[in-house]
Amino acid sequence: MSEPTRIPAPEGVAPAPPYSHVVMATGRLVAVSGQLPLDADGRLVGEGDPAAQARQVFENLRRCLAAAGAGFDDVVKLTYFVTDIAHLPAVRTARAAHIPDDRLPASSAVQVAALVRPEFLMEIEAFAVVSG
């Protein structure tokens, strides 16, 4: 697979430094369901702490991607569901630990009224493209 092409700001579209507007890739699609801040035993990590929850969610995403033979370099789209848009800086910090600024995927952030359990502050899903 060739390297995904990222277009941070197409002509006529305002730049968005925390993500790429467009990512083009060819290969096998890997869809990772929304991940929650749960450890391997199903226990909540970081009750009331968006930074701790974001770190756990990205660790879960890493493990799911690896199970499919993918990594964060292959991610072309992330969708963030947060119960408070104020949690986005914590999400971005956790993302930066896994994805460098020059490889940012396309992204969407949605504030939701609630997630499946009230103690969850976020859920993040990913789409990746790998060769083969």
Residues facing residue 127 across a β-bridge: 31, 77
Q: Which CATH number fits domain 29-130: 3.40.30.10, 3.30.1330.40, 3.30.230.10, 3.40.50.2000?
A: 3.30.1330.40
pLDDT digits 0-9 by tens, 9-60: 888 988 877 888 888 889 999 999 999 999 999 999 999 999 999 999 999 9
Whether the predicted pLDDT of 65 surpasses 90: yes
Domain residue ranges in the chain: 29-130
pTM of the model: 0.91
